[in-house]
Structure 1
Amino acid sequence: MPTEDASLSDLGEALRELRRRQARRDGERQLTYRELAERTGWSHGIIGEYFAGRVLPPTDRFDLLIRLLGATPAEQGALATLRDQVEEQRRRGDQRPRELPAAGSGMVGRDAELSELDAMLTGNAPVVISGMAGIGKTTLALHWAHRIAARFPDGQLHLNLHGFHPEGAMSAGEALNTLLSSLGVAAPRIPQDLEARAGLYRTLLQDRRMLVMLDNAADAEQVRPLLPPAGCLALVTSRGQLTGLVVSEGARPLSVDVLAVDDARRLLAERLGAGRVERDAAAVERIVTACGRLPLALAVVAARGALNPAFSLDDIAGELDGSGATSATETLADVRTAFSWSYRLLRPDARRLFRLIGLHPGPDLTAPTAAALGGLGVTRAAAILAELAQARLTVEHRPGRFACHDLLRAYAGELSESEDPAADRRAAVDRLLTHLVHAAGATTLVLDPLRKPIGIPAGEPPATVTRPADEVAAMGWFRAEHRALLAALDLAVRTGLDRQAWRLAWGVVVALERDGGWQDWIAVQTTALRAAERLGDPAASAFSHRSLSVGYARLGRTAESRAHALAAYELFLQVDDPAGAAVCQHALAFTSETEGRWAEAITHAERALALFRRAHDPVGQARALNSAGLYQAELGDHDAALDRCGQALRLQLGMGDLGGAAATLDSLGTIRHQLGDHPAAIGHFREALALFARQGDRIGQADTLGRLGETQRAAGDVAAVRQSWQQAVTLLEEIGHPGLAGARARLAALDRQS
């Protein structure tokens, strides 16, 4: 029955219970999916998806299904409400995230700043906390965010924008992608266009009360698209004052200074013990002065003293006196002095791993990544990361994920430059890239088991690599490592490891496709193509050209798509790869199809089919058969079209190629429409939509909805037409597709006519 948090799995369970109850009531076995398929005219495969809770049945199908299963009129109404709740929650991405990291016990003082922040709650303007690195901005912001969280019952979002990371700040587009994911938007539904992405973000937050903490911002331009609408609060931290936000958005600024002297003493007392601090008050004063009352420096010194209770504070102060720093600015410039105390107390292998962390290009790392970097076992790497966190040289900001403050990362890099031989540094980078190449490859093969593993090096993967258990785990790994993977690609190019760069690009394309990351796809494959050309590897160049053709086609840039497909085709022929050449011909057929050149399209499709047969590639053969059938229908040969598409569908269902089956069902719907068999056409289109949705293919859904609407109009159901075409417009809006204007015009014309 309906609940506030209804889910698709709840709906599947409700259907399964109806099926079980009907069998108990009638004293018979449960109806099989094939029997239900015979009664409804739907495929037994899609019925299985409905019962498994993986695909949301359309309203008309759901109503028919629950009636067939014996739901009473009252139950029909309740179940229809449940289905509508699931659809609404999926549409709105209805989530209540609670993402604020723990505030911890690290803040001392700041009473005046907290009072100022409390006063800023009277309006909806963003709050900007600024100050130098290590001053405690994030600690203050987190403490205040937890203090006011109850005022924002719809949840809290938290995002580190990495404004001053050595590899560059997070882009606004990437930040929006992460925020939308936190709001429950499925990755394939996130728009490509930055403005559309920001619009969806604001729409989801409209009429909500949410707190959005944007930590470590680079500048106002990075933050502006991430600001939530009225009713929500944006809390931003940055080393800069973000004057642009103050001027244009009315942001309320708070500048954070060093700790007061008494608060600096209290920080040391809380971490070292009040008695110890009171017994050596003179040494404490020297420590406070030497650290310039900078919280980060004080925390590192306190960690050293806490880990070594036998050390006298006078000895620690003596070491500090040698740094010569007398102010916060000087301490910041020479903060490596404070860091060095904790560093020197580490065991040799921990010191070495800390230094090598400076080579890692991503925002954070895990034990397997650290193990690869250091040439260690994963268990030992995990122990060292915990040791580094205890010494305040890293922080476990998410379970199992460790990050360094930017100043500590820079310090680690400096140490590695001075202490590690160039050959050792190069070996560490090579181990890291090898780990990521194999891990990305393992993820790809989980997502697409039929994919040829051309981007995975021969031999066993490193011991640091674990194959994801399923597709959910694979996509979770990719999303967590997304920034690190793209940064590693650039690192490989910078260090002259072009083969690793190309392999990394190969390893991420399937996940990028699942997430609809076509802009990243094009950037990655452009980098890979240049690497392949430097390697003088025509097969690798052919693959990258072909991938670029796909990316440009997805964005509607047909001229660039055709140019890359032709370049790839010639290269595949050069290296005697008929399957690769066939895919290029298939891509060219698709480009001709989008331009309405049917005779040219069928020529490309027939060439692709011949090449796929030569390569003994059944997946490719089925897709080429489908394309050829569709084009034959456009040229008027419907019998041949039905035959070819029928062959294709049988092959695809037999292999479990759901994406290919969706396209073929769409083609069959088109052919049946042309023959005037509207009920059969509508049935094929609906089955195609369900499979496209399961694959996360928004373009496929939008195209099929357009054709479904045409069939519904021919059948005289104007209300259904409007619903189908509005859904198509919504999907195209989400991805900023070039066909959006045409889809809107089509819908507007329908409204004028009716």
Structure 2
Amino acid sequence: MQFTVLGPVGMATEDGQAVPLSGRLRTGLLALLLARANDHVPVEVLLDALWNGQREPTRRRPLQLHIHWIRKALDSPDRLRHARDGYQLAVQPGELDAERFESLLDESIREGNHDPGRTADRLRCALRLWRGRPYQDVDLPELEPAAQRLIERKATATELLYEAELRGGRHAAVLPELLDAVAEYPLRERLRASLMIALYRAGRQADALTAYQDARRRLTTELGLDPGPELQDLQLQILAGEPVDLGRDVARVSARPAQLPRDVTSFVGRAAELTALDHTAAAGELSPGLVTVTGTAGVGKTALVVHWAHHNRTRFPDGQLYVDLHGYGPEPPLRAEEALVRMLRALGVAESELPDGLAERTDLFRTVASGKRMLLVLDNAHSVEQVRPLLPGTSCLVVVTSRNVLAGLAARDGGLRIALDRLRDDEAHSLLKELLGEYDRIRPEASTELIDRCARLPLALRIATERVRLHPHRDTADLMAELADEQTRLDLLDTGDPATSVRAVLSWSYHHLDPGAARLFRLLGLTCMQCRYPRHDFDGYSAAALLGDDDTRESRRLLDSLVRTNLCEETASGRFQLHELLRAYSTELTADPEELDAARLRLCEYLLANATRALAVLAPGEIAEPPEITATPQVPVSADRDAARRWLDRERQNVLCVAHHIIVHGHWPDARGVATALYRHFTGDSGEHLLSGEPEVSHPR
């Protein structure tokens, strides 16, 4: 189909047969959908625009009727889809006149001065698409920003057209057109400059100077300004009889970048995060906006942002910039100076005009971006220092993704921070179903196990399901058994591509840690003791015990560092855990068995000693002869029964693990009685079956 907005709003069939539109509301609805073609338009936006802010429930029914009529008029009803309480009109490349116009203009800007004749032809094709004012006869304030932006781009196209014609030597031929263009845009100094050059080259020096005086008079009268330096210099050159030329390069005109990576397939869930991005974009129409999306490796930060950006391109009519800052990866982080060069080039700044210093490049970027409504995606950031020089000062929206929480950015520069968690169970099941499709041979209980083994991380789920698809005749029970083994799980989630292998992406976070935090991370895999209770959490005291450090302040500082880089999760106040894949990666990092045994012994001693003290408060006499174990550090478990009970409740699973470990492996023979008493206290079971080899009894947690 064909859609028009560069004049009266309308649509026509492929063979040019116009589709009649009747009524203000129906035409306005089509205009609103075309202004954000291919993007999601919330119902609230449509109701506000069409009924002047009146959102009564009774308005939804007429809106649905108009939507139904437009669907019937389209060549395919599927073009107009309903999703997330809004509508999206699918428009193919070349179908919308405004999109064709802007594509031709952007091609001309990118080509620069290489072929003036070809540039002029392309710009004339672009300008012939205009049949009046944008969104003509549709009186909706919501469309005014889009209309004004198109009018501004038309003026830019007109300027570039006559500059290309002058570079092609056609000054005499375009003089009549230039006079008309100056009459239409009397305050555009670049058009005035082109007119002066055309007159001067045609041997009409006096007329060229008169054109300057006319420009000066209009600018002074209407704006209270003198002509700019370029126009003044041109007047002096003409007065001196010197050769004149255009002072600006076409390439210096800002291009409209479209740099978003390919949208992810089978995107599911994340409704709250998508809505938060919607609200931030809507609130920042006239002011700068900043969003940071943080989360652990493989959680889908880039997928979320790119998916949202693709569905909201028309919110950013001046373009979308995308820069991978390589904060976590095989390459060193991209320096801010290099990122600025990439962005400035994308915006049409010539190589010769790029300044050398960081501050100068930042200033130029903010100048070029001034007044534009662009989206800037800064992906995979490493630090605040890397990001801050890249922030524009105007109405652009900046979305930053990082494994680091970038607390300094939020504290000083404000904006919204979205902490992206792992998928919920229902979202993970939906993703699994989407990815497997016809290959879905996994039983429901096995699906749950697969999701748990992949820690509800989208990246891991995608790799695991691809393994199922690659081996359609293999029993999926074998895959489940292999994933159950922590020692081989990361091998199975390896694609051979460092960018998409779970072990590789986790390693990039680990290798950015300072030595103290890296050592703690290597030891944290021991908190599960490889027992039957897999979902452990721990606190700063357990971390200090692993490190062999009396000072819990240091262990908490290191834990905070791991949380900031999303290599550890804080589950409650002062409690932490590693998800399945982080724990698997942690346990394979330390090759020194002596270091592991010593750390495991310290953790067991810490838990056993403090559990013994707590049990002595709660059940005096339960332990006849407490073993002599010196633990570092010691929790201040006093004679307060409530404090002792709270500590045992918090550490229940961990203490059970230690008791299980002692009973089975026989460490500290004199402590076996204590372990048995603790086991009985928590479970009501003597634990003797653990020694005899009898099957374990499942106890409620």
TM-score by length of 2: 0.39
Structure with the bigger percentage of helix: 1
